[in-house]
Amino acid sequence: MGLAMWAKCGQALPEAGVSIAPSTYYAACNRPVSAPASRDEEVTAVIKQIHAENYGVYGVRTIYAELVRRGGVNGRPVARCTVARLMKAWPPCYVV
Alpha helices, DSSP H only, in the chain? 3-15, 22-30, 35-53, 60-70, 80-89
- What is the share, in percent, of the chain residues with pLDDT greater than 90? 52
Between CA 58 and CA 84 the distance in angstroms is 12
Lowest mean pLDDT among 14-18, 23-27, 56-60: 14-18
Question: Considering the entire predicted model, what is its pTM?
Answer: 0.69
Between CA 11 and CA 7 the distance in angstroms is 7
The residue type found at 63 is I
Between CA 77 and CA 47 the distance in angstroms is 13
30-55 tens-digit pLDDT: 899 899 999 999 999 999 999 999 99
